[in-house]
Amino acid sequence: MQYDVIIAGFGGQGVMLIGQLLSNAAMMQGSRTVWMPSYGPEMRGGTANCTIIVSDEEIGSPVVPHPHAVIAMNRPSLDKFEPLLQPGGLLIINASLIDRKAARDDVDVIYVDANRLAEAEIGSAKSANMIMLGAYIGRTGAATPEIVKSAIAKKMVGKEKFLPANEAAIDLGMKIAAEQA
C-alpha cells in the first residue's frame, strides 16, 4: 500500500513539522518513506509545502504530480493543490482560514475548523497542525495514532510539557475525521 500527501500552508503553521512527524512515524512502523519540503526564503508567512510518501515497497520517485491526499492549511494552498488531487482522493481543509468549500465533488473532503478548535479545545492555536494530522491519519490509517504520538515524543525532546496538548490534538483530529466519514 502507498499513501502520498501534500501538506501545504504558509510558514509558521507547522506544515513541515507534521510532514516530518508523519514520515518519522512511517519509519518507526517499518514503512518506507520520503519527505520532500518546498518553501520560499521567508521563514514565516511565505509559502510552505511538503510531499510525504509512505509505502510498504520501494519508492521510485519523490515527485507526486497527483497526490492521493492534500492537507490545505490556507486558501492559496487549497487553490493550488486541489486541482492536482486524484479523483477519489482525500482533501482536508482548514475551515478556520479557508473561506470556500471544495470545488470538486469527486474527492472525499474533511472540513476541520482547526485554528478555532486548537484554541478552544486544546488551549493553543499552535496545535491546529496536529489536529489536521490527526484527521489525516484517522481517515487514511497511514500511521497508527500510537506511532504518531511516539514520533511526536521523540521530536519534542526537551519540550515534554507540550506532549499532552499535541496528543489531545491528534485525538481531536481523528474524532473529526470519524464524525465526517
Give me the pLDDT at residue 43, please. Answer: 59
What is residue 114's predicted lDDT score, i.e. its pLDDT?
Answer: 98
Per-residue model confidence (pLDDT) at position 181 = 85
Write down the architecture of domain 2-179 according to CATH: 3-Layer(aba) Sandwich (3.40)
pLDDT by 10s per residue, the chain, length 181? 899 999 999 988 999 999 999 999 999 999 999 999 997 765 566 789 999 999 999 999 989 999 999 999 999 999 999 999 999 999 999 999 999 999 999 999 999 999 999 999 999 999 999 999 999 999 999 999 999 999 999 998 898 899 999 999 999 999 999 999 8
Cα separations in angstroms, 147 against 41, 91, 154, 180: 32, 23, 10, 23
One-character DSSP codes across 135-155: HHHHHH-SS-HHHHHHHHHHH
* Residues 6 or more apart in contact with residue 163 via CB below 8 angstroms: 152, 153, 156
The predicted model scores a pTM of 0.95
pLDDT for the residue numbered 39: 79
